[in-house]
Amino acid sequence: MAPKATVVKVELQVTDMDRHYYASHNLTLAQHPSETDERLMVRLLAFALHADERLEFGRGLSDEDEPALWRRDYTGLIEQWIELGQPDEARLRKACGRAQQVVVVSYSGNSAGIWWHRNGPALARLRNLTVIDLDSADVAAATALLGRGMRVTAMIQDGELQLMDTERTVALRPAVRMAPALQEA
């Protein structure tokens, strides 16, 4: 019998002063048996960074046609497609053709740098792609907050994300490797 997904319930309060977005989200994350705790936490961090009332988790690992997160408009058109880790260039080209905006959140330290060095020149042609990198040590610190039932606050100001529970605070500063505005400069 195959192992079942672990369910993680999160009450997330988002205070994003950079985008002027303030809301509470009650989230249910299903952790696939092959998904690491770090990847699960990065999904939550990506949600906090791009929070919106229509942002939802995709099937991700269990469905290759869906991203880790996405936001669709009320007609079903994909406004934002969010991938985690080091996706294949062909997958990103396909996503850029399907969505208005595509975001990659990489988080695995040196291997993310190697992935970027190998794929960056080809990805630079994708005009609606943003690539951000989370420091692996910061992701490890944030993962220490992980629990089956979580109540956390994400405060974003001046590009820094602070993730807080009742006892601890973890600060992360996502590094932008590529963004549409940077490509035009």
pLDDT tens across 65-97, in order?
Answer: 899 999 999 999 999 999 999 999 999 999 999
- Helical pair 110-123 and 89-98, crossing angle rounded to 10 deg: 60
Whether the per-residue pLDDT at 155 is higher than 70: the answer is yes
* pLDDT-derived band at 60, boundaries 50, 70, 90: low
Q: Which residues touch 23 (CB under 8 Å, ≥6 apart)?
A: 13, 14, 51, 53
* pLDDT-derived band at 185, boundaries 50, 70, 90: very low
Whether the per-residue pLDDT at 174 is higher than 50: the answer is yes
**How far is 141 from 164, CA to CA, in rounded Å?**
11
Whether the per-residue pLDDT at 23 is higher than 60: the answer is yes
What separation, in Å, do the N-terminal and C-terminal C-alpha atoms of the chain show?
A: 54
* pLDDT-derived band at 104, boundaries 50, 70, 90: very high
**How far is 139 from 46, CA to CA, in rounded Å?**
11
Q: Give pLDDT, residue 123.
A: 95
Is residue 47 within 8 A of residue 11, CB to CB? The reply is: no
**How far is 69 from 142, CA to CA, in rounded Å?**
19
Predicted TM-score of the model (pTM) = 0.93
Q: Give pLDDT, residue 5.
A: 82
Average pLDDT over residues 27-56: 95
Q: Give pLDDT, residue 59.
A: 79
Q: Give pLDDT, residue 109.
A: 85
Place of tokens 């993730």: 163
